[in-house]
Structure 1
């Protein structure tokens, strides 16, 4: 732990000394916790709080301690993930802020809650990082983007990367990108599921059994995504490689373009991003600023 006024010297090699806390026990917290364990941080060094026991059992199965006390989590942790709904962030930080010291790194995964809002709810000079993961973190295939607050140093970002690298792709960027990432990847997961559902329903319409159609659709999405990630090629290049003159794919793509699928997807990302930005503009109760 760092003492008041000292620089943060924890490194990848001694992450085992870290105490990690989660306020909130939803899917994002669970996905991140799974990425930390095993090996990176021992289960004995992790504690999770939630107001009810509904989601805590799966954390206990990981060997993680659970509690109903947010203060207990903060008091016993170095890095605290605030993984609650955006409207609950002011309440949680008001409850725990007097227990937050300069040894803490506070990582918020609440959509739309800005760094300025978080810093206004916390003691001065608190190290704050805003992180946006997505649902595939639960299978360690997530896409995570974070932005550092005013008092977060590059080594704090490096520490977070080292903790989260098993969760999937981890990138750092300016805060303006976090809301865009929310629309692209946080909400975008649901857009992909809708597309996969429609693929399967198209096959059912043409006579394939539903269970088989769903299985093939999911594998198609998985295979296409893996190839896109690992090939390094632009999506348009891969798409053109599937098309042959007068073939089935170009006819199907023509139908999609007639339906405006490209514009609809772009509009969906825009709408989700705009909503994330709106969440961040709402005044936070209890802010010091």
Structure 2
């Protein structure tokens, strides 16, 4: 399959949809083979000017493209499918980025045997550092998965998983960047409390986070081993870890991620 021969329409080109458009262009996809749709006319004009892509109404884009990337909010997906279903030709690949919505949601609303691939990515796609987990629907083939991977490759890493694990991925990786931002926010406040200027505290924490992430990725060491290497007996780090444990931070993280998983399930149930 020569992927760049396909015309791709990003339906609902918000931040994530725009990240896909820009990534495809960087990967060599011709702008003439990219289509975007947008709810607001001014947003469509902005995309056309910035990337040179065609901007079409939803139904026209669905009828024209070989691959449809659904990038709208989950609560808007049902209404969108009513609009798209009559326009989608048989056999068109549909790639959904809608958090919480299973492939069955789309298969039920689109023409029979429509191949659907479910993707959970995250906002680091905007800086080409995403992790995107992909799962095949009941009519999607290995070829469809390979095409989806090629589309997502410019945005970061991809991983194939059974769809039954997608709600956990949503909670852990899809929402994951927000947990780190929350931690950085708290650490920045701590730095200010200790007398550092805000920008200094921010710069120190961001570089520490970046360095820690690279060490986790590149050394292959278990996070416990890396943490222990910083934690000297009777030192400053173990005093901080003791406070985190006394405030049940580990348990709070487990509870928070379970809550996100449960919310993904609620979104799917409400959509049905």
TM-score by length of 1: 0.89
Residue pairs, 1:177-196, within 5 angstroms: 177-196=165-184
**Does residue 115 of structure 2 align to residue 120 of structure 1?**
no
Q: Quote how far apart the aligned CAs of 1:66 are.
A: 2.1
Whether the 8 Å CA contact 1:142–1:169 is kept in 2: the answer is yes
**Does residue 256 of structure 2 align to residue 268 of structure 1?**
yes
Give distance in 1, aligned partners of 2:88 and 2:231. Answer: 57
Residue 163 of structure 1 is matched in structure 2 by: 151
Q: Quote how far apart the aligned CAs of 1:247 are.
A: 1.7
Structure 1 unmatched ranges of 5 or more: 1-10, 285-289
Residues 51-107 of structure 1, C-alpha deviations (whole Å, 9 max, x = no match): 10454425631222223x101211221111111111111111111111212341101
Structure 2 unmatched ranges of 5 or more: none
Whether the 8 Å CA contact 1:15–1:40 is kept in 2: the answer is no
**Does residue 127 of structure 2 align to residue 136 of structure 1?**
no
Residue 63 of structure 1 is matched in structure 2 by: 52
Whether the 8 Å CA contact 2:60–2:87 is kept in 1: the answer is no
2:7 alignment partner, one of 8, 19, 35: 19
Structure having the higher helix fraction is 2
Count the aligned residue pairs: 271
Residue pairs, 1:1-289, within 5 angstroms: 11=1, 14-56=2-44, 57-58=46-47, 60-67=49-56, 69-284=57-272
Whether the 8 Å CA contact 1:141–1:167 is kept in 2: the answer is yes
User: Closer, same or farther in 2 for the Cα pair 1:273/1:44, shift >3 Å?
Assistant: same
User: Closer, same or farther in 2 for the Cα pair 1:150/1:65, shift >3 Å?
Assistant: same
Residues 215-234 of structure 1, C-alpha deviations (whole Å, 9 max, x = no match): 22222222211221222222
User: Closer, same or farther in 2 for the Cα pair 1:201/1:128, shift >3 Å?
Assistant: same
TM-score by length of 2: 0.95
User: Closer, same or farther in 2 for the Cα pair 1:55/1:261, shift >3 Å?
Assistant: farther
